[in-house]
Amino acid sequence: MSAVEIRSGTELPAVREQIELRTTDGLRLVGELATPVDRPPVATLVTLHPLPTAGGFMDSHILRKAAARLPALADLAVLRFNTRGTTSPRGTSEGSFGEGIAERADVAAAMDFVAERGLPNPWLVGWSFGTELALKYGLEHGIAGAILLSPPLHRTTEEELRRWNGSSAPIVALIPEHDDYLKPAQAAERFAVLPRLRRIDVAGGKHLWVGESQTRRVLEEIVAAVNPSALPLPTTWPPSVG
């Protein structure tokens, strides 16, 4: 079998399972769990998608590509789901958008699923609106760490940021140079209350991380935090040897 270049639409081998989450307020949320084919995962990415009222859902491209690639390339389980009221090709989750407040129960449902399945070392990976959910509610659960992609910090208070100083869970933020909401200089100021956060300013980056070079950078930074032994990520499949 000849190696092929990993590109935008590449889906590498994984066990893909359509799942449902149940919230404490009685809603059914639809999602997918992707795991390595022939070995247990070393860690789990619990992904939190961008703002659903602006088109965000579980298939937002960085999250879809993480699920398509990282079980095979980095031995990671990837859990994606639609928060309440959100629709994707997988289906529609029950309920309606809760302005980041009612979604507290959605995060809890995902973490309950992780615990029930015995999935290891869960990291929250939030993107845009998803970073607000991670920052607000992540410390309520036994997470291994949190990764923030393009955090807008619209709904996150200074007190909520400060709370993370009392946790040992690593927290990493990728700040695009050309972000629409929070550029590096602003991020440095807003995150000053959380000095232990590792801030990565990405030259040339944009809020939506469009393009293979930006996608690869984001996925590499996720793997660097969660399973650095898997770096560098292969650019072909099957990976070239030697």
With cut-offs at 50, 70 and 90, classify the pLDDT of residue 105.
very high
The pLDDT of residue 1: 62
Q: Are 106 and 29 in contact (CB under 8 A)?
A: yes
Asked if residue 241 is part of any domain, the answer here is: no
Across the chain, mean pLDDT equals: 97
Is residue 4 in some structural domain? no
Q: Is the pLDDT of residue 13 over 70?
A: yes
Nearest Cα to Cα of residue 221 among 181, 178, 175, 183 = 175
Going by C-beta distance under 8 Å and a sequence separation of 6 or more, which residues neighbour residue 100?
129, 132, 133, 136, 155
**Per-residue pLDDT band at 239 (split at 50, 70, 90):** confident
Whether residue 83 has pLDDT greater than 70: yes
Question: Within 175-242, where are the H helices?
Answer: 184-190, 212-226
Please say if the pLDDT value at position 27 is more than 90.
yes
Give yes or no for residue 241 having a pLDDT over 70.
no
Measure the CA–CA gap between 177 and 198, rounded to whole angstroms: 16
Q: Is residue 3 part of a domain?
A: no
Count Cβ atoms below 10 Å from residue 210 Cβ, excluding itself: 13
Domain contains 207: yes
Mean pLDDT over residues 152-159, rounded? 96
The number of residues making up the chain comes to: 242
CATH number at residue 41: 3.40.50.1820
Alpha helices in 125-211 (DSSP H): 129-137, 158-163, 184-190
Residue 107 domain flag: yes
Number of domains in the chain: 1
List CB contacts of 159: < 8 A, sequence separation 6 or more.
none
The pLDDT assigned to 187 comes to 98
Give residue-wise pLDDT tens across range 189-204: 999 999 999 999 999 9
What would the pLDDT profile of 172-193 be if each residue is shown by its tens digit? Answer: 999 999 999 999 999 999 999 9
Q: List CB contacts of 78: < 8 A, sequence separation 6 or more.
A: 33, 34, 35, 44, 45, 47, 63, 66, 67, 70, 71
Q: What percent of the chain has pLDDT over 90?
A: 97
- pLDDT at position 183 is 98
Looking up tokens 């995060």 gives 107
226 or 241: whose pLDDT is higher? 226
**Is 52 contained in some domain?**
yes
Residue 10 is assigned to a structural domain of this protein: no
Residue 2 lies in a domain: no
| pLDDT for the residue 240 | 74
